Structure 1
Amino acid sequence: MTSFDPGPPGDATLTKADDGWTLIFIRQLDQPPEQVWTALTEPAELDRWAPFAAVAPLTAPGPTTLTMVDGDVRMDLPATVTVVDPPAVLEYTWGDDVLRWELTPAGGGTRLTLRHTLASAPGEPGLEAKVAAGWHLCLEVLNRLLNSDPVGVIRGRDAMNFGWEELRAAYAERL
């Protein structure tokens, strides 16, 4: 892996949702929405930056499986693609959570908004900061990948080697 600095915490907020809490990330990417869309929907691309592997493209509504990957440990989670409006909106469940990706043309690139609604189970304290730190790393890896400067996927316990704990603490203060 080439050198990787995840940078400081980014633009993230936490809002109350009907069924829990929604973590909102906004990032500016240099590529057009069509290129970002491919990275969000194609299994080979997702496998290069996302916290999960997809068994099929996320380009049509319906059930699928997203596999959490942590080293050699793999855990299949049921998912359902609910909204597909290329290259603007992609929404799907991930276990009990909901991920909504919104892509808007901006400044010659894309404004990416990720809304991750966390299921309203009696959760572990600080879960939102842990999720924020994980997405921060993933989105930075995605940004590098899109800029033709890939660093390799960072998932699970590997994140501890790339500033996850510091990011978690910073997002805990912020959120």
Structure 2
Amino acid sequence: MIAHIEKVENFYIATFERHLKHSVKEVWSYLTDNEKLPKWFSELRVDELHKGGVIKFDMGDGTFEDLSILDLKVNTVLEFSWWKDTVRFELTEESKGCSLRLIEKINTITDHTPRDLAGWHVCLDVIEALLDGRSIERKEEWKVWYEKYIKEIEKVTNQ
């Protein structure tokens, strides 16, 4: 399901929702465990898992960017800086698993925004597939969602 994107004051909010048949604890481990993180987002590593801590982003050229952890409640909330934006994961227990919500606060829409949104969309799909013991073709999926997010961004920015 595609993210809901809306303009709020002078920024944008993209909200992704997933209902997973897995426990909060299992899903949390994919967001924070350095053994599992690379399976869905190979550039990310948790350096210091606490509010004020750091997540490292591997730029692929031997350098790393520090992303600050802005909010952390174990098994519930992980929020970190995403350069000028923020990314927030929220987990809520449900009767047959949990709800995973990713909220990206986007300060400025750029040509790169649909790429990021398609990337987050596929990352969430990959987490679900890994938990389910399945695999998905990331590049093909990303292309499909990238085209859809270009259209979604156009709708929001043309309002």
SS at 2:133 equivalent? coil
1:99-140: CA deviation from partner (whole Å, max 9, x where unpaired): 1111111231111110011233xx523x33222211121111
Distance 1:109 1:74, change over 3 A: farther
Q: Percent identity?
A: 24
Aligned residue pairs total 153
1:67 paired with 2:45, answer: no
RMSD: 2.4
Measured after TM superposition, the shift of residue 75 of structure 1 is: 4.8
- Could you tell me the TM-score, scaled by structure 1's length? 0.75
Q: Which has the higher helix share?
A: 2
Q: Which runs of 5+ in 1 are unaligned?
A: 1-9
In the TM superposition, what whole-angstrom CA distance separates every residue of 1:60-117 from its partner, at most 9, and x where no partner exists? 1124242246xx5455222111211121111111222211111111231111110011
SS of match in other structure, 2:28: helix
Residue number among 98, 102, 106 corresponding to 2:94 in the alignment = 106
User: TM-score scaled to structure 2, two decimals?
Assistant: 0.81
- Out of 140, 150, 153, the position equivalent to 1:172 is 150
Counterpart contact for 2:4–2:16, Cα < 8 Å: yes
Counterpart of 1:83, as a letter, is D
The one-letter code sitting in structure 1 at the alignment partner of 2:57 is T
Q: Which runs of 5+ in 2 are unaligned?
A: 154-159
**CA 1:52–1:118: 2 relative to 1, 3 Å:** farther
- Structure 1's 35 and 19: CA in aligned 2 closer, same or farther, altered over 3 A? farther
- 2:7 maps to 16
The aligned residue for residue 3 of structure 1 is: none
Match of 2:41 among 34, 50, 53: 50
Of the two structures, which has the highest relative contact order with CA contacts closer than 8 Å and spacing of 6 or more? Answer: 1
Counting only pairs closer than 5 Å after superposition, residues 23-34 of structure 1 correspond to structure 2 as: 23-34=14-25
| Cα distance change of structure 1 residues 17 and 50 upon mapping to structure 2, 3 Å threshold | farther
Residue type of the partner of 1:27?
R
In the TM superposition, what is the alpha-carbon distance from 1:172 to its structure 2 partner? 2.2
